[in-house]
Chain A
Amino acid sequence: MTTLEVNGRRVSVDAQADTPLLYVLRDDLGLNGAKFGCGLGQCGSCTVLVNGEAVLSCRVPVGVLEGKKVTTVEGLGTIDKPGALQRAFIEEQAAQCGFCIPGFMMRAAALLAKTPSPTDAEIREALFGNLCRCGTHMRILRAVRRAAKS
């Protein structure tokens, strides 16, 4: 049993300690924002925040998260009330298939929390580990710039 806080809500999950956080989020908590891409920590589509730091949830066992705060893309806003980052991605239409986008958003959220006005180089560096197979990277960069300005 692991107790953690997910998007501001305290939850206890009855999963084995070595279960990846991603499985717990999707299978136990019904939060399907974070995606299973490669399962090897190489594509970034499973990125969520743990205590404000971007982590690859497919490679983080839930057992190490006792008492920690997890934020997923669902924690940034809702469909009716999208958060600033989500609005920026919508306004820039920064998605094709959209599979990787929650990971990009969470990586960008970690960046903007620490560096509210990042340079282009800082944005590129922060997003380096996230892959988009559709090739919407230029729009994603614009969306992060827009979110930083808003």
Chain B
Amino acid sequence: MKLAASLLCLVLAAGCEAARPLPEAPPGPRAVDAKLVQRGAELAAVGNCRACHTRHGGIAYAGGFAMHSPFGTIYSTNITPDRETGIGRYSEEAFRRAMHEGLRHDGEHLYPAFPYDRYTRTTDEDIAAIYAYLMSLPPVRYTPPENGLMFPFNVRAAIGVWKRMHFRPSPVRQVADRGEYLVEGLGHCGSCHSPRTKLFAEDLTRVYEGGEAEGWHAYAINEKNAAPIPWDEKAMVSYLRRGYDPQHGISRGTMGLVSHELAAAAPADIEAMAAYVVRLMKAPTPERVARARELLRDPKVSPGGSGPGASVYESACRGCHSGRGELPWDGLALSLSIGLTGESPRNLVNVILHGIPAAAGGETAPMMPGYAGALDDAQVEAVVAWMRANLTNQAPWPDIGKHIAASRKMSQDMLLFPPGGTGTEP
């Protein structure tokens, strides 16, 4: 059956040959338009090229970041303008084609780990700016490791089959709503915040219902968003720009990288994106609004009770998460955290076990020590279940143990993206 499927793929692949190669960009220095480069830097921050195109401890944009999938491991490419190992040979036309059609400059298909299903919706004008920015970077000579993918995914023609099933180039010519345009396209929020199909395409029947990214859960950002305090535009701008909001908490894990990048985006773009995301979440029900008001008045950090979960919470968590501190440096009252009310316990488990690492390079940022050494699996499960039952109004999670086991196995690379600093400006 597997073989038959693979053969079918290959037969189909025969009809999905690569495209024509495009002429190379000439060597030598390029004209630099400083304004365009600056605009490109802001847009690259929205597209968050850096997060995937930088390996743990590596030089920004030089690639080599390992992305794990059920089909094997893909390493991100070097997108600095080095001619031998980066994208220095890409003309602007070739770069635009890569973004719009998922094709390499030599015409081969690119793996959809590069989110061209979303980037395709970017205007030529914005792509030109991003191109100018990337080409202004210092070239880095670095060849990422070879992909370790299983057959038939290691055959690039097979991607042609995948693209036929899941992808239509759809460049945007006219931008009506800047927020919608950035969220749906360059920002590629859906790449993490939507579930994926078995073939790893974004499941467009369940868009923004919540997904997974490198061992972190990406919460639903549509009307299913379960934040105890419903998001408004002001809070969302704060979260996206500064990496935290006093009533929602700090952004960490993979989202920490996103907000760290977004600090460099144009404020007007962030505001537009925030407005659109809040629209996606729809107006909260009166019950949610009432509960939020109640929680802000009294976050109920000490609901009482006994048992192993309560005793871990009371002794290990409540001291910092007292509801009296000031974010981002002190802990959020946990009843305000989507980590407890969300659809998956994964992020809560990750943070309990591994903590929040100090920021790289001495930047100021909140941190939390991990409890992987001090708490055993039963204790973690007990405290997670207890917090869900006593600090939220949500049904119990059925699969806490599974997430604990998976989180314990997370490698440092997957877990501890250098989180960067947290902005303090208003």
A interface with B by C-beta (< 8 Å): 17-18, 21, 41-42, 49-51, 53-56, 59-65, 68, 125, 128-129
Contact = CB atoms under 8 A, between A and B. Distances in A.
A55 B374 contact: yes
B371 A60 contact: yes
Interface string B395-417: 00000000000000000100000
A72 B315 CA distance: 21
Contacts of A50: 373-374
B295 interface: no
A61 B367 contact: no
Given A17-B315, A18-B315, A18-B319, A65 B369 contact: no
Given A63-B311, A64-B379, A42 B367 contact: yes
Given A53-B373, A55-B374, A61 B315 contact: yes
Nearest to B383: A64
A53 B372 contact: yes
Interface in B328-365: 355, 357-358
Contacts of A63: 311-312, 315
Interface in B250-281: none
Contact of A64 (B312, B319, B412): B312
Interface of B: 311-312, 314-316, 319, 355, 357-358, 367-369, 371-376, 379, 412
B369 A59 contact: yes
Contact of B316 (A54, A64, A128, A129): A64
A125 B374 contact: no
A92 B369 CA distance: 30
B342 to A, nearest CB: 25
Contact of A41 (B314, B315, B369, B373): B369
Contacts, number: 53
A42 B373 contact: no
Contact of A17 (B311, B355, B367, B375): B311
B311 A60 contact: no
A65 B371 CA distance: 12
Contacts of A55: 369, 371, 373-374
A109 to B, nearest CB: 12
Nearest to B318: A18
B381 to A, nearest CB: 13
A68 B379 CA distance: 12
Contact of B412 (A18, A62, A68, A125): A125
A51 B376 CA distance: 10
A64 B382 CA distance: 12
Contacts of B371: 55, 60
A68 B358 CA distance: 27
10 contacts: A18-B319, A41-B369, A42-B367, A53-B374, A54-B373, A59-B316, A61-B312, A63-B311, A64-B315, A64-B316
A41 B367 contact: yes
Nearest to B368: A41
A127 to B, nearest CB: 13
A15 to B, nearest CB: 11
A96 B168 CA distance: 64
Contacts of A68: 376
Contacts of B374: 21, 50, 53, 55, 60, 64-65
A6 B231 CA distance: 48
Contacts of A42: 358, 367
A60 to B, nearest CB: 4
Contacts of A21: 374
B9 to A, nearest CB: 40
